[in-house]
Amino acid sequence: MDFPFDWNEFADQPHNVAPRAERLKHHIRRADGYAALLAWNVWTIGRAWLPYRRLRKRMHLRRSEFKNAFGCAVSPLQGRDKDVLSLLAETGVRQTLVRVPSWERHNLARLESFIRRLRGEGFDVLAALLQNRNDVLNPGGWREFLDEAFTRLGPLCSAFEVGHAWNRTKWGVWDYGEYLDLAAPAFGLAGLRGLKLVGPAVIDFEFHLYPPTLAVLPFDTVSSLLYVDRAGAPENGQAGWTAADKVCLLKAMVEAGARRPSRIWITEVNWPLQGTGPYSPASGRPNVTEDEQADYLVRYHVLCLSGGYIDRVYWWQLIAPGYGLADSREGALRRRPAFLAYKTMVGELEGAVFLGREASLGAEIFHFERGQDRLAVCWTPGRTRTHDFGRAVRRVIDRDGRETKPSSSSGLELEGSPVYVFF
């Protein structure tokens, strides 16, 4: 089955050109593959369920360090790379992700130049290698792309993510067996050059794909594109599973299926924005206001990273009209509230040690130490509440980095917008 690849330049993703009826026919024809997946997961879930329960019970109770925990995806902007790098440096983040599409091999020299500039400014680069249907149908061409990408970018990138969101047919892969075939040659080519590989880059809450994939492919780091935007706030449940629940289940499924212990990175997440029209990658409920996006960004990072199960989260991305930290439609790069929220979060929490989550009715209180500072990141997922910390509050910084006055010497009124409370 073959459909023309149609790239949506506004939302930075493919259009879903295959009709729903044709997709259904394809899935029916591949029933044997789904049966194999079911067999894998009946076996794996039995091994993963008790570890999941233990991980969930320990979530937010253990000390963990936020070391190189924050990453931001970034793309070149025609004639404005200097502005892009300046804006990126302003966030304070040092870990970056750059997409490298297979269908733009002619553009590799341009991407190489951009990545070289990033490295020259001291940024670490993870290259995400994107596929389309032609790469599945023409494995020789895909192998040539891998070989050229590894040759040109290998000396500049710390790791390569192999494939992208392949559990969505619009990205050209129609079942997990096709992904295994797609990813397999990367290991031989990368091994010859001593390169690190990241994967399998499964998008959303489809963790049943990890065990059969990781049993075959020995990635150095496991990656997930863990979006929770369809549930709204990260504390909301999808079929009862909050973002924190999903992180614990992801960790359990990875440990049950992987051939060796592995770090886990979330290599893509965002919330699309209301009023951005064709630039939004989703329609309807997932779209939020700019202030909601900024609130959810901080809350997601703190909830996911504080468990100690996720080592890094990459925000997608720095500049994009429909979801980025900055908007490029007006000529000047307009910093959104999410930009200020991200900058503040990185500035206050990179290098911090998470100490524990304070039990509080209706409020989320996460305690950290950073050097001589003792601080808490606080918010409420529901209505406004006043919280007494039981000790003197020295200063308070709001979500966007502005200093505010505490409600009292030891108490503070909390709401959905996170604040940083220093003791």
User: For 6-27, what is each residue's pLDDT tens digit?
Assistant: 899 999 999 987 777 776 777 7
- 183, 219 in Cβ contact below 8 A? no
pLDDT band at 316 (very low <50, low <70, confident <90, very high): very high
Q: How wide is the angle at C-alpha 79 spanned by C-alphas 75 and 85, nearest 5°?
A: 50
331-340: average pLDDT: 95
> Position of tokens 């001291």?
122
Q: How wide is the angle at C-alpha 292 spanned by C-alphas 288 and 296, nearest 5°?
A: 110
61-66: average pLDDT: 95
Q: Say how far apart CA 65 and CA 176 lie, in whole Å.
A: 34
Q: What pLDDT, on a 0 to 100 scale, did the predictor assign at position 39? A: 67
pLDDT band at 78 (very low <50, low <70, confident <90, very high): confident
How is 131-170 classified by DSSP, letter by letter? --HHHHH-HHHHHHHHHHHHHHHTTT-SEEEES--TTSGG
Residue 340 has pLDDT above 90, yes or no: yes
pLDDT band at 31 (very low <50, low <70, confident <90, very high): low
Q: Say how far apart CA 116 and CA 285 lie, in whole Å.
A: 39
As to burial, measured by CB atoms within 10 angstroms (0-12 exposed, 13-18 middle, 19+ buried), residue 83 is: middle
Residues 6+ apart with CB under 8 A from 381: 233, 235, 236, 299, 364, 416
Q: Which of 83-87, 192-196, 388-392, 414-418 has the lowest mean pLDDT?
A: 388-392
Strand partners, 54: none
Residue 296 has pLDDT above 80, yes or no: yes
Q: What pLDDT, on a 0 to 100 scale, did the predictor assign at position 2? A: 64
User: For 106-126, what is each residue's pLDDT tens digit?
Assistant: 999 999 999 999 999 999 999
In this structure, the number of other CB atoms found within 10 A of the CB of residue 107 comes to 13
Structure tokens at 89: 């440096």
Coil, helix or strand for 185?
A: helix
43-65: average pLDDT: 89
User: For 367-376, what is each residue's pLDDT tens digit?
Assistant: 999 999 999 9
Q: What pLDDT, on a 0 to 100 scale, did the predictor assign at position 43? A: 67
Q: Is the backbone peptide bond immediately before 131 cis, with ω within 30 degrees of 0? A: no
Q: For residue 102, report the phi and psi dihedrals to the nearest 5 degrees.
A: -65, -30
User: For 318-330, what is each residue's pLDDT tens digit?
Assistant: 999 999 999 999 8
Structure tokens at 76: 């070149």
* Intra-chain end-to-end CA distance of the chain, in Å: 61
Report which of residues 67 and 24 the model is more confident about. 67
Coil, helix or strand for 182?
A: helix
Q: Say how far apart CA 268 and CA 12 lie, in whole Å.
A: 13
0.85 exceeded by pTM: yes
pLDDT above 90 as % of the chain: 82
Residues 6+ apart with CB under 8 A from 115: 98, 125, 127, 153, 156, 157
Residue 346 has pLDDT above 90, yes or no: yes
Q: Which of 32-41, 147-156, 189-198, 243-252 has the lowest mean pLDDT?
A: 32-41
User: For 264-293, what is each residue's pLDDT tens digit?
Assistant: 999 999 999 999 999 999 988 899 999 999
Report which of residues 334 and 3 the model is more confident about. 334
250-262: average pLDDT: 87
Q: Say how far apart CA 401 and CA 343 lie, in whole Å.
A: 8
pLDDT band at 342 (very low <50, low <70, confident <90, very high): very high
User: For 79-105, what is each residue's pLDDT tens digit?
Assistant: 899 999 999 999 999 999 999 999 999
Q: Which domains does the chain have, with CATH numbers?
A: 13-349 (3.20.20.80), 354-422 (2.60.40)
> Position of tokens 């051939």?
259
User: For 166-186, what is each residue's pLDDT tens digit?
Assistant: 999 899 998 889 999 999 999
Strand partners, 160: 127, 197
Q: What pLDDT, on a 0 to 100 scale, did the predictor assign at position 151? A: 98
